[in-house]
């Protein structure tokens, strides 16, 4: 599932410009997560490559761990190594 966000900007004339920004937010199922190692993977519902998820993203979502089979929403963010990781997690 993809989500969109309506973003409002003010132009320099004081008017408003509206546009739709597509987010890389999707839903998936936790394939596995190892809290001792601090990472795991999420399988996207629409298929494709599994998303890496780090413990720091889990903790920023107010969670201590993820459970295998748990449904989550997440946003893919590019990493420094060229691989994407799951961020901005929320549980369903």
Q: How confident is the model at residue 15 (pLDDT cuts 50, 70, 90)?
A: low
| SS3 call for 23 | coil
What is the pLDDT at residue 32?
Answer: 98
Which range among 13-22, 44-53, 56-65, 77-86 shows the weakest confidence by mean pLDDT? 13-22
* pLDDT tens digits, one per residue of 51-79: 999 999 999 999 999 999 999 999 998 87
CB-CB contact of 32 with 63 (8 Å): no
Tell me which of 1.10.260.40, 2.40.50.140, 2.60.120.200, 2.60.120.10 is the CATH number of domain 24-91.
2.40.50.140
**pLDDT score of 33 more than 60:** yes
CA 58 vs CA 18, 22, 61: distances in Å: 32, 23, 5
Please classify residue 92 by burial: count the beta carbons closer than 10 Å to its beta carbon, then call 0-12 exposed, 13-18 middle and 19+ buried: exposed
Where in the chain are the domains?
24-91
């Amino acid at each position: 599932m993809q989500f969109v966000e309506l973003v409002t900007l003010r132009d320099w004339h004081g008017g408003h410009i509206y546009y739709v920004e597509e987010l890389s937010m999707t839903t998936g199922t936790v394939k596995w997560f190892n809290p001792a190692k601090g990472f795991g993977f999420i399988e996207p519902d629409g298929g494709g490559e599994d998303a890496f998820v780090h413990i720091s993203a889990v903790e920023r979502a107010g969670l201590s761990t993820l459970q295998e089979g748990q449904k989550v929403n997440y946003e893919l963010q590019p990493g420094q190594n060229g691989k994407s990781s799951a961020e901005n997690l929320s549980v369903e």
